[in-house]
Every structure is written in structure tokens, then in C-alpha cells.
Amino acid sequence: MKVLVTGGAGFLGQALCRALVAQGHEVSSFQRSFSPALEAMGVRQVRGDLADAAAVHAAFAGQEAIFHNAAKAGAWGSHASYFNANVVGTRSVLAAMRAHGIGRLVYTSTPSVTHSGRTPVQGGNEANTPYGEHFKAPYPATKLIAEQEVLAANDAALATVALRPRLIWGPGDTQLLPRLVERANAGRLRFIAGGHNRMDTTYIDNAAQAHLDAFAALRPGAACAGKAYFISNGEPRPVRQIVNDMLAAAGVPPVQASVPYPVAYAAGAVLEVVWRILRLGGEPPMTRFLAEQLSTPHWYDISAARRDFGYVPAVSTAEGLRRLAQWWSAR
């Protein structure tokens, strides 16, 4: 089958392309820049911007299914930049799929669309965990709009499903682990409120597996069509343990320092103002959204994904950490 992955050059995108190629699909990727890794896989690359509807329309010609994985992530940036990438881009994807009669869409969403400040989520499922409100960052706000529009597009001609993987990690990660290592080595890494709140994470191969499991089951009228699903390893752990296990995989000593939540939240508020007034580059080291995210329990029931498309995480957290250490050592 001819399958296109948006954002195929990214961390999850590469894992999706690799898995699809292994299944024998003819895989293309739509992204902004050339990727040697995708070239080595034999993936056809089309470069362009998701907000460019004409470019998306041209790239989707002849495709039979789409994995819409590309997005602008992070905790900082203008609302317009997030809206263009996450909402306008998704609208371009849906319009191009309609125009070309492409019938299956697997969309990568995020649990952050349900973020509600300091309200803990402990074992929440899709039925009892509502969408969030009054977001303090444009990422979850725009991803919520995109998810809703993807699910609303589901009908007899176009089957859609949205997956919400939580905190993807593993070999090939160029963002999370390198940042943790850099900050830990510089003595700038702190937990918030002790880091004792439990959170879900998702090993990279499990995240890709969930997407392919959903894809295999997806068709008009399928149990998963028109629905969103939480995805994780199903092993919620304290933030302190998550971070220190990852640091250990990189050969870095554990971090013990912590700051109270009110201090972290106030610091985030001040830094947001400073970054905005001075127009500083990059992201502030703390924001209000991050302070809430990193100090609040967030773990989810993934039984709906198991029931509707057979998702059972194949790689345990312990095995993932072993593979992570092996990869980091070989870098």
C-alpha cells in the first residue's frame, strides 16, 4: 500500500517509516528538510510546509493512507506559529485527503489536550477524561482543535483515529534525553515538588506499534474510527524515577534537588514575561504550563486501545532502558 507519513524525519516519524517499510508498504514522507536516515530506508521524501495547502495536495496524489504525525511541539512560541502548523496544517491534510479520495488517517495527538492545570489524572480513560480548558500554552490548545477536527471528519468515506502517546522516549531521541543530560551536567536540573507524582511514558517502538495496530484495524465503521486513544507503556512511575533512570542510561549521576511548586510556577510566569518582552530565542527554562505538567499526576488507562485495535506494549520500560543505554553508549 502507498502510505505517506507527515513529519517522517522526526523521532516518531522515522520509527513509523521504518515500521511501515518493514511491513512492505511503499512509504513517502512529507517534511521540511532532507533526511539521510529516510533516504537510507528507501523512503520517498517530499519537502514542503503543512500550511501550504497546494504543496500538501501535490504530495498526497496517489497515496492510499496517511499518518499525520507532523506538529509544532514544545512549551513556548507564538500562538500563530502553533496554529499554522497544528491547525492549518491538519486542515490541509484533511482537504487533500478528501480531494484525492484517501480513506484512512492515523493522527498523532497528545494527552495534553486533556490538561487541566493542577487537576490530577490517575488512571483516567477516554470516557471520563474531558478536554482541557484555559490552556497556558498554545501547543495543547492547537492540538485540541486539530484532534477535534480530525475526529469530526470521520465518515463513510474517510476513517480517522487519533492516538495520544505520552512522553515518547528511546534510542534516536535528539530532544528529551540530550536536554536532561545537559541540564544535569550543568547542575541546572530540578524536580518540582519532589518529583513524586506518577506519569506515563511511551517507549518509541511501542508508540510506533500503536499507530500500526490502529492502522490495521481502521476502516469506516471500525470500533476505533472517529475516536481518540491514550497510548503509553502502561507502567506509570514517579517523575523522579523516570528522569533518574534515563540519566543512568546515559551514565549520568542521579538528580536529587527539588523546588516547591509555587516557586516553579512563579518562576515560569516571570520567565514568560522576560522572554516575551526581550524577544529572546529558544524556550524559557520554565513556564507555567511546564510547572503544572511536571508536578501533577498524569497516567492513563490504555485498555480501550487494547480492546479496539489490540495494542499491547511489546517493550517493557526495563527493556527500553537497556536499549537506551546501549544506544547512548554507541553514539
CATH number at residue 73: 3.40.50.720
Confidence band (pLDDT; 50, 70, 90) for 74? confident
* CA dist 73 → 58, 94, 97, 137, 329 (Å): 25, 20, 23, 10, 27
pLDDT classification of 75: cutoffs 50, 70, 90? confident
Answer whether residue 118 shows pLDDT above 90. no
At residue 167, the pLDDT reads 95
Is the pLDDT at 283 greater than 90? The verdict is: no
Q: Quick check: is 274 in a domain?
A: no
Active-site residue among 82, 107, 131, 139?
139
pLDDT at position 69 is 97
- Whether 324 is covered by a domain: the verdict is no
Return the percentage of the chain with pLDDT > 70, whole number. Answer: 100
pTM of the model: 0.96
Tell me how many domains the chain contains: 1
Check pLDDT > 90 for residue 117: no
Burial 21-38 (b: 16+ CB within 10 A, else e): beeebbbbbbbeeebeeb
Asked whether the predicted pLDDT for residue 77 surpasses 90, the reply is no
Has residue 273 been placed in a domain? no
Query: Is residue 139 among the annotated active site residues?
Result: yes
Handedness of CA 144, 150, 153, 159 (dihedral sign): negative
The pLDDT of 158-184, averaged and rounded, is: 95
Q: Which residue has the cell 517522517?
A: 8
Residues in CB range of 139: below 8 A, 6 or more apart: 72, 73, 74, 75, 77, 82, 86, 110, 112, 289
Q: Which residue has the cell 491534510?
A: 93
**What value does the mean pLDDT take over residues 105-134?**
94
Task: Judge whether 226 lies within some domain.
Answer: yes
Structure confidence by residue, pLDDT tens digits, 213-229: 999 999 999 999 999 99
Quick one: DSSP state of residue 270? H
Residue 17 scores a pLDDT above 90: yes
- Is the confidence at residue 281, as pLDDT, over 90? no
Mean pLDDT of 149-167: 98
Q: Is residue 322 situated within a structural domain?
A: no
pLDDT at 208 over 90: yes
Asked if 82 and 289 touch (Cβ cutoff 8 Å), the reply is: no
Residue 249 inside a domain? The answer is no
The reply to whether 186 falls in a domain is no
Q: Helices (DSSP H) in 153-299: which residue ranges?
A: 176-185, 204-217, 239-249, 261-278, 288-295
Domain limits at 83?
2-174+200-235+299-315
**Quick check: is 92 in a domain?**
yes
